[in-house]
Structure 1
């Protein structure tokens, strides 16, 4: 009997992804077995293959899901009228969106190397699409003379790295409130682009 009595694919599939993400983030992709994921969900190991063909596909689905959600959520943010306003929206969006998904962000940076070439390229293309959103803002600011940047691509990568770094140290209830962190980071990014 592969499926646990009373299990439902619309419940079990998301539970598998949730537990796999938690285990991969905590122990690393290479250290986690399909048997461990199955045990965390309460399934026999063979039952996992009803939901995913292999562990790499499971990781790919997690990384792709995160990037798809990120791009879709950014697309729903109302566009500000100016590049400076759009840049501020991006800064605040990036911090808030990623803080709520710390494990997914960690996997996106630390476990990408475990994907085969085709899967790696697919995730890289999604990451590039997100980076292009920020770079378009920076280029628009340069074109109107509001941003002073020697290289928009380098600035894009530096800003995203800086904003993503909030995930490594921010804790709710810590010394600084999230709203304060957002203000400080927005001020640093604004100064970094010469605005």
Structure 2
């Protein structure tokens, strides 16, 4: 099917995803129609189907892009080596990455239930790849006896939950700037595994 006259898939496609992200975060996936998304972009409802076959595909693609970007960014940020240095880096990275993407983060956590089974399996696999990152760090720290971890999986999930919680309250221009928030949460991450000292 040809695109609407005068459209540019490289421009309109991202605008469609950005509009859907805003609307899903504001109103919830179930409450948003394809017609609303089209109106937000400024195109006809029929034209929207040149960029996505349906709303479910749009949600799945949005979540996949977010998680793939997250995994790629961590790969670039991972200092490797010492578990304490990696835990510090992971805590700071997670906050820095997620604070810039509040709508994507909200959707990634709150709209999983809206995915159909095949899409859910795909997105859940990506989530598990990211969840494996802190688990590996904590496992290495426990093995090196520089961290106290009663249950690696539980501690990894608790760490992610603590760090992601920043998105519910942080606002730019508030009492603490981003660097201060990163530093405090990195110390709390160390403290929760009995490694209060700063990494070497």
- Once the two structures are TM-superposed, the CA of residue 14 in structure 1 deviates from its matched residue by 0.5
Structure 2: how far apart are the matches of 1:34 and 1:78?
39
Counterpart position of 2:157: 157
Indicate if the aligned counterparts of 1:4 and 1:43 stay in contact, CA closer than 8 A: no
Counterpart position of 1:107: 107
- Once the two structures are TM-superposed, the CA of residue 5 in structure 1 deviates from its matched residue by 4.1
Equivalent position SS for 2:81: coil
Deviation digits for residues 81-135 of structure 1 (CA, Å, limit 9, x no counterpart): 3100000000000000000011000000111110001100111110000010110
Where does structure 1 differ by over 3 angstroms across 4 or more consecutive aligned residues? 2-5
Any gaps of 5 or more consecutive residues in structure 2? 196-200
Deviation digits for residues 32-52 of structure 1 (CA, Å, limit 9, x no counterpart): 000000111111111111111
Counterpart position of 1:144: 144
Indicate if the aligned counterparts of 2:80 and 2:86 stay in contact, CA closer than 8 A: yes
Query: Normalized against structure 1, the TM-score is what?
Result: 0.96
Equivalent position SS for 1:172: coil
Indicate if the aligned counterparts of 1:142 and 1:148 stay in contact, CA closer than 8 A: yes
Counterpart position of 1:45: 45
Any gaps of 5 or more consecutive residues in structure 1? none
- Once the two structures are TM-superposed, the CA of residue 6 in structure 1 deviates from its matched residue by 2.1
Select between 87-96 and 6-15 the one with higher mean Cα deviation.
Answer: 6-15
Counterpart position of 2:88: 88
Counterpart position of 2:120: 120
Select between 124-133 and 73-82 the one with higher mean Cα deviation.
Answer: 73-82
Indicate if the aligned counterparts of 1:99 and 1:167 stay in contact, CA closer than 8 A: yes
Select between 71-80 and 109-118 the one with higher mean Cα deviation.
Answer: 71-80
Structure 2: how far apart are the matches of 1:32 and 1:114?
12
Counterpart position of 1:188: 188
Structure 1: how far apart are the matches of 2:7 and 2:78?
40
Indicate if the aligned counterparts of 2:78 and 2:90 stay in contact, CA closer than 8 A: no
Select between 140-149 and 175-184 the one with higher mean Cα deviation.
Answer: 175-184
23 and 103 in structure 1: CA distance in 2 versus 1, 3 angstrom threshold: same
Counterpart position of 1:22: 22
- Once the two structures are TM-superposed, the CA of residue 80 in structure 1 deviates from its matched residue by 3.9
